[in-house]
Amino acid sequence: MWNDTIKTPLTMDNEAMYYAYGWMTNKVNGKQFVHHGGSLPGFKSVYFRYVADKTAILFWTNSDTADIYGIAFGVSDLLQSKDKKN
């Protein structure tokens, strides 16, 4: 589902981003990263998955002004730094 992709003009950290059946996929720190976000008035959500680590991060907010990607990347960075210490 995440391998049959179309390259988009978007980038993240100078890495090309691809679109695959509703999912955005690219590499973060050399690892396959899959994500999807969405919003409605008053709500935002995001799903992050680091495929090799079998780690998923999901956030839902009842605020359409929340920096949901910033929050999710912050938690992701904390989890990855914790893994490096172990």
pLDDT at 84 > cutoff 70: no
Scanning the structure block, which residue is given the tokens 């679109």?
19
Mean pLDDT of the 26-35 span: 85
The predicted model scores a pTM of 0.76
Q: Is the Cβ–Cβ distance between 51 and 34 less than 8 Å?
A: yes
Alpha helices in the chain (DSSP H): 68-85
Residue 5: count other Cβ atoms within 10 Å of its Cβ: 17
Mean pLDDT of the 20-39 span: 87
Scanning the structure block, which residue is given the tokens 């008035």?
41
* Burial class of residue 33 (count of CB atoms within 10 Å of its CB; 0-12, 13-18, 19+): buried
pLDDT of residue 62: 94
